[in-house]
Amino acid sequence: MKKGFTLLELIVVIVILGILATLGFTQYNKQVESTRLAEAKIAIGSMRQLATEYYWKNGSLTGIQNGDVGADNTCTSSSYFHYYLGSVYATGLYLMSARCTSGGKSPNVTREYIYRAFFKPDTGCQSFRCYYSDDTTTCFGISDPSCPGQ
């Protein structure tokens, strides 16, 4: 009597390994993408500093432009994100970064997500949110709408 595995048993094992590999690869990609978010956090920190300087110099954020905070809203081969100003109010503004879907540092993503910060230089209040642009679901668990009057 020979001992061994049947063809069906081998196929079941291969299918299970394939499923586990797919899940692992998906989680790995999600983790890598969340670490790329550090680039956006650093850039938004610089934008926040420049917006603060603009506010203290002019007494208001009215009239602030992308160039005033070092944002050019274009994807370049040296960045995973493009940066721009969102809504601007007299005492607060949205500093935006969107993950490049083309033209950015490789690899680009197929589903754009936006990391934004709401910032009020007069009080120092800030809040952060990450969401997908196609359906506004939260990405990477970042949602902190803690500034009043936001």
Q: Is residue 149 part of a domain?
A: no
Q: Is residue 49 part of a domain?
A: yes
Q: Is residue 150 part of a domain?
A: no
Q: Is residue 109 part of a domain?
A: yes
CATH of the domain at 105: 3.30.700
Q: Structural domain tally of the chain?
A: 1
pLDDT of res. 96: 96
Q: For the beta carbon of residue 118, count every other beta carbon within 10 angstroms.
A: 22
131: containing domain? 7-144
pLDDT in single tens digits along all 150 residues of the chain: 778 788 888 999 999 999 988 888 878 888 888 888 999 999 999 999 999 999 999 999 999 999 999 999 999 999 999 999 999 998 899 999 999 999 988 888 888 999 999 999 988 888 999 999 998 888 888 877 777 655
Q: Is residue 75 part of a domain?
A: yes
* Prediction pTM value: 0.78
